[in-house]
Structure 1
Amino acid sequence: MILPDHKIRTLATEHDMIDPFVDGQVREDVVSYGLSSFGYDMRVAGEFRVFTPNIHNSVVDPKEIDERAMVEYEVDDHILIPPNSYVLGRSIEYFEMPSDVLAIVLGKSTYARSGIIVNVTPLEPGWEGHVTIEVSNATPLPAKVYANEGIAQVVFLQGEPPEISYADKKGKYQHQEGITLPKL
Structure 2
Amino acid sequence: MLLNDREIKELIDKKEIIIEPFSYEQIQPASIDLRLGNRFRIFRKGEIEVIDPKDFKDELIKIEQDENKIIEKYKYTDVIITENPFIIYPGDFVLASIYEYIKLPRYIAAQLHGKSSIARLGLIIHTSAGWIDPGYEGHLTLEIFNTNNVPIKLYPKMKIAQLQLFRINPVERDYKEKGGKYYKEKGATSSEIWKDFI
Q: Which residue of 1 aligns with 2:173?
A: 164
Matches for 1:1-184 after TM superposition, within 5 Å: 1-15=1-15, 16-24=17-25, 34-55=26-47, 57-65=48-56, 67-75=73-81, 76-119=83-126, 120-183=129-192, 184=195
What amino acid does structure 1 have at the position aligned with 2:104? M
Q: Distance between the aligned counterparts of 2:113 and 2:188, measured in 1?
A: 18
What stretches of structure 1 of length at least 5 have no aligned partner? Answer: 25-33
Deviation of 1:68 after TM superposition, in Å, equals 2.4
Task: Count residues with an aligned counterpart.
Answer: 174
What stretches of structure 2 of length at least 5 have no aligned partner? Answer: 59-72
What amino acid does structure 1 have at the position aligned with 2:77? V
Q: TM-score, normalised by structure 2?
A: 0.81
What's the CA shift string for 1:136-175, capped at 9, x where partnerless?
0112321222221111100001011122211221211111
CA RMSD of aligned residues (A): 1.7
What amino acid does structure 1 have at the position aligned with 2:78? E
The percent identity for this pair of structures is 32
Contact map agreement 1:46 1:78 (CA 8 A) in 2: no
Higher Cα Rg, which structure? 2
Q: Which residue of 2 aligns with 1:29?
A: none
What amino acid does structure 1 have at the position aligned with 2:3? L
